[in-house]
Structure 1
């Protein structure tokens, strides 16, 4: 093999071709080409595959393949046709056998006829097919997850774009007042009888509407009370007292004074359109920090002033004293809100 390898090396060097270029063109490993040129039989595959490599190398260098193969057969001791390895009549099979021998030197050829050679398929074929199935399954799963994420995001923005109705806000406020999540400050609790307060909580369905409360005030010579803000627990207490109070002049004056005092208080309703963190202080008191999840409502009541810092000005909707102030800021930017 040394003479044949020397012939191949000299021809390659004359043409100025490197082993890497030969390997890329013939699909033969660089180490196998180097062993062929050095005549190192221990590092080469079986002689049946080695013959195919020699023929492919000779064709690439544009040498006479018959002459090179005859030299190879004489050098390897293949003088008799009986001892010569079987050749495949199909050139594609020869090339496939060469590639197989490159990665699997231990594989042998099982001859089924005297003229054709059967080459076992590499084990990597089944492994590659399994890997392809895994990649396809992973790709399909990734597409499904992306589609689900898109639908979730779209539904979230659609839900945020819807402005809650007055009835929804009223029902939410009533639920929060019943659960005592945000009890009113101590300065807003009036010294009313316990029976009146209990009736306002236990029987909210009997509370008259704001229109019924305004009408008797207009009919009297006393100045009409200001417009009552959006429905809050305080307004329910005032309405209940107006319904149960006697018709005496002193009682009406007390009712008007109490209603006017409750209106002077400040009430801020913060509705979270997204997860947001707020820091607020009441009447220049110590700051308090809380975090609101999406669609949660927080009520802040004060006597003089309310100062609020919002981590995301576009993630809240503000209602101050019954007036819908809308979204105060820009999405993603913090801001401060002051209500004197």
Structure 2
């Protein structure tokens, strides 16, 4: 038997960063995001020789371990090994399972599309199917968060795990004691289509480690740096405004909110923007863009631009001249899924 799974990547539309402690614990966070038809994939199959095998098919990394060994979680395969260890110890009573775990993703780490957290969700969804574990969406997302942030010690927030698990347009609320509320939004078909046609997703060609940016944001809040806290408050308000604009179909208001959120985001940490990003922004606005934002923590990865659909081709051509690439995509309402091949 083989179990396969996939989980969708996401675009962070507004409020990103307010899902990170200590801000969300002190003030509560609001985030607006949407998943797209680009995915992280996992495949689980039995290993017949009693060894555990971990492989990332896109990067070519591979490790093998005797299943009775303590499997360390450092290195390029830490996500795969971290999920495996948690499942074995929490749900299998410590009895190691001889499995071959394979993964690949439609986006590189550091893309700003939540690729690492999405991969953890895809891995968990495959294990849930393989072992018939009684976990629903909230439990899968929470467990993914715990594995990534606590077991592996990777800095970041909570929105990515919940976006990948639930899918679709969601307005998310984050509170103290790890309480999370996911509010799925019912988007009118014409709004969905117009927004999809108006968004251009551009990869800068530079992947970045988000941990340093997130650490700086957390330190600024923890040290009560008022300018950073005020910027986070603005991000939170703009997530609410974004939700209202999307539900009403106020696309001009959405443009204003997206741009205001990006300007506030840049005030939460110094490394969120840089000369490369600023240059791409200038080119975009000179070629039809009405609003711009970096998806994710910042510093690189993917940038998103809103424009009139008639300007999409001109904008895309101008961006391609900057040396990056355009990713075609569609929104998707489906979250993480898994299935069996017998």
TM-score, structure 2 as length reference? 0.20
Bigger Rg, structure 1 or 2: 1
Instruction: Pick 1 or 2: higher relative contact order, CA cutoff 8 A, min separation 6.
Output: 2
Structure with more strand by fraction = 2
- TM-score for the superposition, normalised by structure 1: 0.20
